Chain A
Amino acid sequence: MTPYMITFFVMVGVFMIGCFALKWPVGVSMLAAAVCGALEGMLAHGTSFMQTLTDTGRMLVEGEFGYVDTILTIATAMIFMKVIEDSGALDALSSLLIEKFHKVPAVLLILIMFIIMFPGMITGSSTAAVLSAGSIMAPVLMLLGLDNVTAGSVIAMGGLLGMIAPPVNTAALVICAGIDVPYVGFTGPLLLLTFPLAILFVLMLGLPKVKNLDYEKLKPALEKQDATRREYGVKIYIPFFVLLVLMIFFKLIAKNIGVDDVGMPVIFLVSAFIGMFTGRKISVVKTITDAVRTATPVMAILMGVGMFIEIMTATGVRGFIVMTCLQIPEALWIVACCISIPLFGAVSSYGSCSVLGVPFAYIYGTYLGGNVVVCLAAISLIAAVGDMMPPTALAGLFAAQITNVKPYTKILKKCIIPIIILLVYAGFVLVKSKLFAWSVFG
């Protein structure tokens, strides 16, 4: 496996040079790493130069298709976000929520956390949660007194937990597909794993900032928002209702009545389209192009990640990483699991589920005789942490974008303690899965 190790160091080395020394965007650094890894790995394997060039060219483009659907969701979510921002809908909602709930700040925080989680719960995507509900709740959190880093941290953790909370957990679905276990009975374990942490984290991060909230002192800062609310009335909230209704209908109801799911991109665009007529006048072309420009760095990251994984797999680096993790002594498997899965998730959390989640699911669910459903649920939560790991750190990156935090690593630092708590909890549940077998129902 030594040749694979060399290719691994070439890819990681080029990536780090590109990212940290040359200050290239992450996506472009990944492209460079993929190209160098392909050339070194294939030529070292004995492939001819022409064959190396032709294979590399094809594979770089092929890898991008791993995320072509995801970038459409991201782009349309950004368009929705820009519309509700420019139309004043965001301002109006912030003002309304604070007026109604300022007397019970802990309840308000928990409510906000569940709202942030909701899109993730029904789509299985932390990105969808952060970009839709997260972007809506960001100004509310900041008006409550949270600084932008804390607000971003709440949103990022909410996105993470939302993607794992039932009913839809794509990470678990990927692992289930990998070991042919039906996605049945997961609701209980997933609720147990996510909701207590959600309440803990939002109170941990946010309560110290809001518990002494003085609404009268806050009111002057809400003048602009209050004015927007008065000017446009109830109709300004219509895009939110449309988004909520469409998400509930297509994700929870439609399949039971034989209607096909239209997908988040359509839901975001329809809601955005309606938002163009319910508030301030906005320029359609400018809004769309500005939104896509904002989303471009993240979309490019995903394209780069796709190329990186494709070349990593083709040259054997992926196998090298998996085997290195699995060669660790049995006593350290839980540590290996809790470290390697999030680290690999830095490239792709779903990729991490497939590449490392499946072998560890075999180990804990079959080889060590644990409860398979609980094990898979716990591993999916561990994999979700990958969405916070640099360089991709999708949840963290988007949360930083919507709360105007630069660099986004500030949010990662703020989330270290919650992430450690999450990993310890998930690791405990994984190792002692039989203790939680009672939660499996359905």
Chain B
Amino acid sequence: MSLITIVYLVIAAIVFLSVLYNLLTKEEKVVDKVACAMILVPLALRLLMIK
């Protein structure tokens, strides 16, 4: 795995954790939580290098 890929995985992890944090602690409306979940799914699969 190249260095730049690792850097981007770190960036993806930062965004993933931030969205998860907001979903768990800040978002109140259901639709806003769904929006967060939509972002978490592909980021999780990319972090695990499945897709």
Contacts and interface: CB of A to CB of B under 8 A. Distances in A.
Pick the most buried of A262, A269, A303: most chain B CB atoms within 10 A of its CB.
A303
B26 A293 contact: yes
B42 A68 contact: yes
**Category for how many chain A residues contact B:** 20 to 34
Interface string B20-51: 01100010000110111011011101100001
B1 interface: no
**Category for how many chain B residues contact A:** 20 to 34
Given A28-B31, A65-B51, A266-B7, A72 B38 contact: no
Interface stretch (A164-172, A294-302, A329-337, A389-397): A294-302
Contacts of A28: 31, 34-35, 38
Contact of A24 (B8, B21, B31): B31
B18 A304 contact: no
Contacts of B35: 25, 27-28, 296-297, 300
Given A28-B31, A296-B22, A64 B38 contact: yes
A292 interface: yes
A32 B7 CA distance: 34
Contacts of B41: 61, 64
A192 to B, nearest CB: 36
B31 A289 contact: no
Contact of A292 (B18, B32, B38): B18
A265 B8 contact: yes
Contact of B22 (A27, A71, A72, A289): A289
A193 B43 CA distance: 38
Contacts, number: 83
Nearest to B34: A28
A75 interface: yes
A76 interface: yes
Pick the most buried of B21, B31, B51: most chain A CB atoms within 10 A of its CB.
B31
Nearest to B10: A269
A72 B26 contact: no
A371 B35 CA distance: 44
Contact of B21 (A65, A71, A75, A289): A289
A180 to B, nearest CB: 28
B4 A61 contact: no
Contacts of A269: 11
Interface string A25-66: 101100100000000000000000000000000000110110
A68 B43 contact: yes
Nearest to A74: B15
B36 A65 contact: no
Contacts of A263: 4, 8
Contact of A265 (B11, B26, B38): B11
A293 B22 CA distance: 7
A272 to B, nearest CB: 11
Nearest 9 CB-CB pairings of A with B: A300-B35, A292-B18, A64-B42, A303-B38, A75-B15, A293-B22, A289-B18, A68-B42, A28-B31
